């Protein structure tokens, strides 16, 4: 087990561009090997909405997310355990990461109450009462069996006061240490290694972020996430806090900016040293007809696309963009056909994963800055029209 | 054009079993070649609901349907024409068949009124007023550009009186002759051949069916459909009328039983000489969690499947059944995930297309009767449990 921890993450190269903290790395789990910076499609309930595993393999998605809160409620730990974990249950051959469930408790559950030892809540589905503690979120994630798992933290809303934040950082640090103990006292149930990350909280206060980083035993975790951002604060604040945090994080562990973000957010955050991203934007926007193209994000329902018989993107070729026109995809959306969401989701995920591939290439070739500028200039041009 | 008509359909072999009118044939269009008896997945609005073209190619679907009524309303003839027809619009490389739109007028539109020269109706979408005539349904189908097109007919509800039926047969025969004229006076718009079928009506009256067959110039059409069945009458009546009609239809033209049906219906109708089928059952049932398996149709939402981690069918292997368990598919349905409908639709279509393949093999090997009995015995066993 010791040697596999060493191999879990390897930095392959650092950008040598001035002011660019980007790096290319490689993560190896018991299920797959993939390079960072990586975007992880969100598979909340044991599937990426509207997208088959086959599509995900085609898109070369090396890792996807599951949400512990959702999976704990449905199908529940008993069925998940009998299924032999989420990889088996959904027949996913790549890597999986699960969050602790904490974030969804704060954002979805009703009657939630943060207590000293965890968080009490009522299910958003049926109102049933539950309690997440550091010990039981680790136990649940052992049952789900993701390759990368997260500790219980408290994610504050924005804005939060300095006082709230300090109390919250205390709690988060204590919970994460308890998660680490629970993790070390238990074992993977299905024969493959699981890696526990830590999460840095501290809202938008640099002092709180720094204290959180100092009090978490970073080296005992396989990677470090930055949580509590992209919760309503301005982009500039998010970039600034991210930049601040990565200066203090360990170089040889992957850094994961949770829940981020737009293509621009990803580019800015890679520049500031982030290796891992997850976000519902590509798939959620897809279901609403918002399509990412190299010329910007478009609303395919717009009447101006009704007679546009060109392929929707000739530079970012996915199954969708290589085969179908603006007019056809619009027709599917206007006709409320399920295939609209399917094709749009495949394309948007393909767009994100191609972006990450291009980013890694640019970092390797030490031209990340110009890549970012060119990408954004083109990407934003459509929005100005 | 003359020689392509000859090649359009070829009977490859007739069953030599006593009382079995089944045959294996081959249809060749400008887009694909496929064997009959064939099942044609329904692609109402320019897509088979929840299924990508890629999935359809994987399933070896040689031909799919489009619905003229729906496509005429959305995206409409102007856009369809600018797109260069439905093959181009939806980027479908196989064959297409379109109905005339008549059936949907009777079943979907509001304020419909059958007149001497066609049918007047209001769109079910926005109430706009339209008129379908023999001439304009052919014109619309020239614009859609399907390989096989259908004439305007009147599809009576069940039951209908003899008197209603006779008047309706008069109208249908007149309209079909007008469609033939309109067809002969126009040309394919996109360079590939289009084949016009006729449709036999006559409700459940054999005399009316016979008169309809006698009055339609069968040899001037590329194939013949039997319409007005599967509209509420008992199965035995449907089988009996089908059996009666095929005795009078031309041997060297394909026979198409419109809108049929269940696996049992298909088996009984192949035995009675039918070559082509279309039905929404596999895809519609899929979206409601009703899955076809070699052991019968099941409701995957049933609690008894929640801990069944076996593959959903080990004998009919589709992408879905070869990869996912009852429990997982049930979980997707219970979680209202779109992927549930996608996976179920792929499987149900795969089940139907495999059934047709097995049917063709059995006909070729002159053991259709025992194949049918064995299939149905196994298929119905689950329903008895």
pLDDT score for B3: 46
Q: Is the pLDDT of residue A3 over 50?
A: no
Residues of B assigned a catalytic role: 99, 278
The residues with which B257 forms a beta bridge, in sequence order, are: B226, B277
Query: What distances in angstroms separate CA B311 from CA A309, B263, B347, one per listed residue?
Result: 41, 21, 12
pLDDT score for B311: 98
> A91: which chain B residues are within 8 Å (Cβ-Cβ)?
323-324, 328
| B324 vs A49, A84, A91: nearest CB | A91
Q: What is the pTM of this model?
A: 0.97
Strands (E), chain A: 9-14, 23-28, 33-36, 38-40, 63-66, 95-98, 110-115, 118-122, 129-132, 148-149, 195-200, 223-226, 255-257, 276-278, 290-293, 296-299
DSSP state of A196: E
pLDDT score for B50: 98
**Residue of chain B nearest A84, judged by CA positions:** B309
Residue B58 has a CB neighbour count (10 Å cut-off) of 15
What are the residue ranges in chain B where pLDDT is below 50? 1-4, 385
Size of interface A-B (CB pairs under 8 A): 112
Q: What average pLDDT does the segment A256-266 reach?
A: 98
**Residue of chain A nearest B331, judged by CA positions:** A75
Give residue A4's pLDDT band: very low, low, confident or very high (50, 70, 90): very low
pLDDT score for A198: 98
pLDDT score for B4: 46
**Per-residue DSSP letters for A118-180?**
EEEEE-TTT--EEEE-HHHHHHHHHHHT-SEE--------SS--HHHHHHHHHHHHHHHHHHH
SS3 category, A112: strand
Residues of A assigned a catalytic role: 99, 278
SS3 category, B113: strand
Mark which residues 321-360 of B lie under 8 Å from A by CB: 323-325, 327-328, 331-332, 334-335, 337-339, 341-343
Q: What average pLDDT does the segment A14-27 reach?
A: 98
The percent of residues above 70 in pLDDT, for chain A, comes to 97
- ipTM rounded to 2 decimals: 0.97
pLDDT tens digit sequence for A116-130: 999 999 999 999 999
Say whether residue A307 is in contact with chain B using an 8 A CB cutoff.
Answer: yes
Give residue A7's pLDDT band: very low, low, confident or very high (50, 70, 90): confident
pLDDT tens digit sequence for A190-239: 999 999 999 999 999 999 999 999 999 999 999 999 999 999 999 999 99
Mark which residues 74-113 of A lie under 8 Å from B by CB: 74-75, 79, 82-84, 88-91
pLDDT tens digit sequence for B19-33: 999 999 999 999 999
What value does the CA radius of gyration of chain A take, rounded to a whole number of Å?
20
Report the alpha-carbon distance of residue A359 to residue B153 in Å, rounded.
Answer: 59
pLDDT score for A2: 44
pLDDT score for B381: 86
């Amino acid at each position: 087990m010791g040697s596999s921890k060493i191999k879990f993450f390897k930095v392959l190269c650092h950008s040598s561009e001035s002011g660019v903290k980007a790096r290319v790395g490689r993560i190896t789990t018991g299920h797959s090997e993939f390079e960072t910076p990586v975007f992880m499609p969100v598979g909340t309930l044991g599937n990426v909405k509207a997208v088959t595993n086959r599509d995900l393999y085609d898109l070369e998605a090396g890792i996807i997310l599951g949400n512990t809160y959702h999976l704990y409620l449905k199908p529940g730990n008993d069925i998940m355990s009998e299924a032999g974990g989420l990889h088996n249950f959904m027949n996913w051959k790549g890597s999986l990461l699960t969050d602790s469930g904490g974030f969804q408790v704060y954002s979805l559950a009703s009657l939630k109450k943060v207590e000293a030892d965890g968080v009490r809540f009522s299910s958003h589905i049926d109102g049933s009462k539950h309690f997440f503690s550091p010990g039981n979120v680790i136990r649940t994630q052992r049952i789900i069996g993701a390759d990368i798992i997260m500790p219980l933290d408290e994610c504050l809303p924005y804005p939060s006061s300095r006082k709230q934040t300090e109390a919250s950082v205390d709690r988060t640090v204590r919970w994460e240490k308890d998660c680490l103990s629970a993790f070390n006292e238990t074992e993977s149930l299905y024969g493959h290694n699981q890696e526990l990350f830590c999460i840095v909280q501290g809202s938008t206060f640099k002092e709180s972020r720094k204290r959180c980083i100092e009090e978490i035993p970073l080296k005992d975790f396989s990677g470090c996430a930055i949580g509590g951002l992209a919760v309503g604060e301005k982009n500039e604040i998010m970039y600034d806090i991210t930049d601040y945090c990565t200066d203090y994080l360990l170089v040889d562990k992957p850094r994961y900016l949770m829940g981020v973000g737009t293509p621009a957010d990803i580019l800015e955050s890679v520049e500031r040293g982030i290796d891992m991203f997850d976000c519902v934007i590509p798939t959620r926007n897809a279901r609403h007809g918002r399509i990412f193209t190299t010329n910007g994000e478009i609303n395919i329902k717009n009447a101006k696309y009704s007679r546009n018989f060109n392929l929707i993107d000739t530079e970012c070729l996915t199954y969708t963009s290589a085969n179908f026109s603006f007019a056809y995809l619009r027709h599917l959306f206007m006709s409320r056909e399920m295939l609209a969401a399917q094709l749009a989701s495949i394309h948007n995920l393909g767009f994100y994963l191609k972006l990450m591939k291009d980013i890694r290439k640019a970092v390797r070739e030490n031209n990340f800055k110009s890549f970012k500028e060119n990408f954004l200039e083109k990407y934003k041009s459509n929005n100005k029209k």
